[in-house]
Amino acid sequence: MTDRRRINGPPSGTRPPVFASSIKSTSVTTSERPQRQRQPNELRKIYLKTGLIPSASGSSYLEFEPSASLSAARASPKSLIPPSSALKLACTVHGPKPLPRSATFSPNLVLTTHVKYAPFAARKRKGHIRDASERDLGVHLETALRGVIVAERWPKSGLDITITILEAEDDRWWGDAPDSHDAPWGMMNVLAGCITAASAAIVDARIDCLDLVAGGVAAVVCDESADGEAAAPKLVLDTDPAEHRSILSACVVAYMPARDEITEIWLKGDTSKASVGGDDKNLAHEALIDGAVAAARGAHTVLAEAVRESAERFAGLLMAENSA
């Protein structure tokens, strides 16, 4: 039966289609690809704010600054299609709260994570029901946070973490062939942002943790040289899939700097063809993981500043209540 109470959007993509007649030549299309303006070890600026949703126990909002090429394209647009996308997401934490009476006894805190794309967040429109990719992100996020929260402090209690992705990283540039990036590389940036935002929201909810956990991404990319030929693979931090012609492998980690521990790692791709970290394949894997850890350390500085502002705001509220 058709749901007449909801006006569903079109099932196709949310961005304008690209017609073959609008593409003049391959060289012109290639020149319009966004180019990375940052150094290989330079991260994008992160905006992180806590306490934006009063109805939740803790909340946070995270946004990545768009690349310089994207800002220039917005200043002087040549096409209606944006060359790249940014990352914007909101996280809410509800709990700790008592479990239902029908639930089995649990001596530890029961953690539940829920990651959902907004219908307009990605190039391909998302449905109202979570798909496999969203469920995978929820599982990775739960694994990353389970090793951080002191779960034995709250027996017979539950904690719900919900993340809404308002804008997601594209897996490839719109001018590439449909099978150019056969793997969803943008999901790795989304997971790193979810880990950082969830850690800030958990601290904003005043839940005891072992340490702040931050997410970081590193990838081995293969770009085109000045003469149009494929250049040697190189390791870059905080990658934007739309800025690179080919991505060989990528890694995302959830890292706790104070304890020097990794609670979650997701490595995808083939580093055997990459000459980073030496000729040995194991050394290439180690270089990729070390790059992701370095990216997580950079995100941790922003996370620590946001947590400090949250603590100062909470202390100010307590002083106001005591004085009243």
Domains, in order of start, for the chain: 38-320 (3.30.230.70)
Q: Between the CA of residue 52 and those of 18, 55, 60, what are the distances in Å? A: 38, 9, 6
List pLDDT tens digits, range 215-252.
999 999 887 665 556 677 889 999 888 888 788 899 99
Average pLDDT of the chain to the nearest whole number: 82
Q: Rounding to the nearest 10 degrees, give the CA dihedral for residues 64, 317, 202, 168.
A: -20
Name the residue with higher pLDDT: 159 or 121: 159
Q: How far apart are CA 197 and CA 89, in angstroms?
A: 8
The answer to whether the bond into 96 is cis (omega within 30° of 0) is yes
On the question of pLDDT at 84 being above 80, the answer is no
Contacts of 4 (CB under 8 A, 6+ apart): none
Mean pLDDT of 193-209: 95
Helix (H, G, I), strand (E, B) or coil at 40: coil
In our burial notation (b when 16+ CB lie closer than 10 A, e otherwise), range 239-262 reads bbbbbbbbbbbbbbbbbbbeeeeb
Run of H or E including 57: none
Query: Residue 28: what pLDDT?
Result: 46
Spatial distance between the Cα atoms of 180 and 171, rounded to a whole number of angstroms? 10
Edge to edge, what strands does the sheet with 157-167 contain?
46-50, 58-64, 88-98, 157-167, 110-117
Distances (CA, A) of 90 to 161, 169, 270, 287, 312: 11, 15, 32, 31, 21
